[in-house]
Structure 1
Amino acid sequence: MAIPIFQVDAFTEEPFKGNPAGVCLLRGPAETAWMQNVAAEMNVAETAFPLAEGDGFHLRWFTPKVEVKLCGHATLATAHILWENGVLAPEQEARFQTLSGLLTARRDGDLIELNFPARPPLPKPPEWADAVVGALGIKPVYIGMSAEDILFEAADEAAVRSVQPDFATLRSLPARGVIVTSRSSDKRFDFVSRFFAPAVGVDEDPVTGSSHTALVPYWAGRLGKKSFTAYQASARGGVLHLRLDGDRVRIAGRAVTIFTGEIVV
């Protein structure tokens, strides 16, 4: 039986911007190796595999190289596809059981809002912070470690945009990836960031929902506020609407379906 598959640009309302994600609507349980092969074939940062289960869906995400514990843009893309294809009614909440626990998504006008766990960085830098500084080639205002990622605040947006990392060094570090951030020089945005994750097969992720589970509590402390508009300054770029809600982070954005197809093997 053919299995529907989609490619969606997340955190954008403009095709060919934001972060492309694969969404494979499983008809039944699938082998891990098969899902990994599909993700490698799609060759985007992450491909999501939702399977209807109970009052929601079991959801897994794979890069072309490995399975990951948390992914924002592919979750947003999955919710978008479930509503767009009538699997869920517009007013229904999307509920996903994942390796990071229960995640939900709801429609808020033309935005899709995700409810993710906050993962604030620790105040102390990791012991190998000097390797991070060397790999990025810019001076830090702050370096800390969140649940999976290094968070590195740079002096300004120009520094964030100019970074050309040593990916071999980043790949060797005991972290999923490195978040580089600063205050935004554009008054439309509170902060900007980039995300590098060569250890999981993604040198630079275009727009990263999960990195904002660390960025939002960090900037809440720095700026003394709880709601933000952020820009991820990759080549494709993307806009995120964010809110700290206790020990959760609300992450909202738009999505555009680029193509639909079927897997026949």
Structure 2
Amino acid sequence: MTLEFHQVDAFAQQPFTGNPAMVYRLDRWLDDAFMQQIAAEHNLAETAFVVKEDEAWHIRWFTPTAEVPLCGHATLASAHVLFEVYGEPGEVIDFTCLSGALRVSRAGDRLVLDFPVRRAQPCELRAEVSQALGVPVESVLALHEGQGIQELLAILSNEATVRACKPDLAAVARLPGLGLLISAAGERHDFVSRYFAPAIGIDEDPVTGSTHCILTPYWAQRLGKNALSAYQCSARGGELHCELHGERVKIAGQALLIANGRLLVK
């Protein structure tokens, strides 16, 4: 079996920044366990698989250890591959996924994600989160989906604290949910963030589109504005342009194709 893959730096204006994602455009779905093995082999934060069924693009995302319900940067990367490599016509691509309908549209040199709002609520995990991070936290919020906590958001005092934070990743992995998001008001941007998800094989994600579905409504309410500039201050770093539209979040960024290749499996 030979499968084509494409590596894209998402939310990046130059190579080797932003968040790398691997993209496979398939004719049909592979076995779930096989897709998980492929994602583990590439060992990037996300590997995306897209299949066209009944004229609609379906998308799934895998970390090196687990399938996740929503991923922004790999969706941006997938749209870039469909537009630039496979010549998908038009200015909009609609995806369906475990989290519902997603849309990616072209806007000049940017691609714009149209994702559902994900609202986090205050929770009583401040002491545990502060201990895991090794710094005081102003507040902790939790995103509840399904039967429990999906994500945690810790608000820190300032950008410098976010940048300098060195969490105990083993302690973070023991917290409920997929990962821990930290954020503060920015110095040059409206807000900054970082995201740690060691429980699903990602010690720190370079730039995370889906977490901005949580961050955008939070900071829109706190700052009293719906159009926000954001920066995820990981080692690679990435800039995002976010807008709140009711129960949808629009997240814009650039993408660069870095590599093409073939997976050879007998």
TM-score by length of 2: 0.95
Q: Which of 151, 154, 158 matches 2:153?
A: 151
Aligned match of 1:260: 260
Tell me the SS of whatever aligns to 2:16.
Answer: coil
User: In the alignment, what sits opposite 2:172?
Assistant: 170
1:17/1:238 contact within 8 Å kept: yes
Distance 1:134 1:222 in 2: 25
Contact 1:55–1:95, Cα closer than 8 Å, also in 2: no
Q: Which residue of 1 aligns with 2:235?
A: 235
| In 2, Cα distance between equivalents of 1:93 and 1:208 | 21
> 1:27: Cα distance to partner?
2.0
Residue 132 (structure 1) aligned to one of 125, 129, 133:
129
For the residue of structure 2 that corresponds to 1:58, the secondary structure is strand
Gaps spanning 5+ residues in structure 2: where?
145-149
Give the alignment of 1:43-192 within 5 angstroms: 43-89=43-89, 91-122=90-121, 124-126=122-124, 128-147=125-144, 148-186=150-188, 189-192=189-192
User: 1:50 & 1:7 partners in 2: Cα distance?
Assistant: 14
Partner of 1:12: 12
SS of the residue aligned with 2:173? helix
Q: CA deviation at 1:146?
A: 1.6
| Alpha-carbon separation, structure 1, partners of 2:70 and 2:262 | 25
1:248 aligns with 2:245: no
Query: Does structure 1 retain, via aligned residues, the 8 Å contact 2:126–2:137?
Result: no
The alignment partner of 1:12 has SS state of: coil
RMSD, matched Cα: 1.0
Aligned to 2:31: 31
The superposition leaves residues 8-55 of structure 1 with CA deviations (integer Å, 9 ceiling, x where unpaired) of 000012000000000011122210011001101111000000001123
Moved more, 176-185 or 140-149: 140-149
Q: After TM superposition, what 4+ stretches of structure 1 lie above 2 angstroms from structure 2?
A: none
Which amino acid is 1:264 matched to? L
Counterpart of 2:102 in structure 1: which amino acid? Answer: L
SS at match of 1:65: coil
Distance in 1 (CA, whole Å) between partners of 2:142 and 2:7 is 32
Percent identity over paired residues = 47
Displacement of 1:152 after TM fit? Answer: 0.8
**1:235 CA drift (Å):** 0.2
| Secondary structure, counterpart of 1:25 in structure 2 | strand
Q: Displacement, 1:94? A: 1.0
Q: Deviations over 1:227-246 (max 9, x none)?
A: 01100000000000100010
- Deviation for aligned residue 1:86: 3.2
Q: TM-score, normalised by structure 1?
A: 0.96
Q: Deviations over 1:162-216 (max 9, x none)?
A: 1100111111111111111111112xx1110000011111010000001000000
Cα offset for 1:264? 2.3
8 Å Cα contact 1:118-1:213 kept in structure 2: yes
